[in-house]
Amino acid sequence: MQDEQQYEQLMMQYRQLKNGAIDIARLLEKEDFDSAINLIKMRESIFLSCKTIRRYLELSPEQQVEVDKIFNEIKELELKNINTLEKSMEDVKSELTRTQKVQKLNKAYRSNENAQGTIVNFEN
């Protein structure tokens, strides 16, 4: 009886994790990284709870199949989210490098322009 309740609790938490992974993917797609990170942090306790329950819960073969199925779905979603984050980080890094090069060029030409001075003709 208690095993059945723990199994139901485990499955409910796995569904929460799966839905959270889907929400995180949606936030990453919208480039709402702050909200995605907050959601990731909030899910840590659920992961720990699932790990604890799985350690002590004896599952029937059918339950094991269901648990493994949703666990693998979560794992796949999380890997996709990690890949999306890594790609976004690469994009930001390359954009930052490009911006720094542009600033360096602008600074070099502006300081050179000021050193030479300009001639202004006020005659009409």
Q: What is the pLDDT of residues 23-82, one digit of tens each?
A: 999 999 998 989 998 998 999 999 999 999 999 889 899 999 999 999 999 999 999 999
Mean pLDDT over 78-89 rounds to 92
pLDDT of residue 111: 61
So what's the pLDDT on residue 124? 54
HEC per residue, 44-113: HHHHHHHHHHHHHCCCCHHHHHHHHHHHHHHHHHHHHHHHHHHHHHHHHHHHHHHHHHHHHHHHHHHHHH
Core vs surface per residue 73-96: b (16+ CB within 10 A) or e: bbeebbeebeeebeeeeeeeeeee
DSSP 42: H
Average pLDDT, the chain: 87
DSSP state of 117: -
- Provide the CB-side half-sphere exposure for 90 (13 A, CA): 6
Rg from Cα positions in the chain: 27
Evaluate if residue 115 carries a pLDDT over 70: no
Q: State how far the Cα of 105 lies from the Cα of 121, in Å rounded to an integer.
A: 29
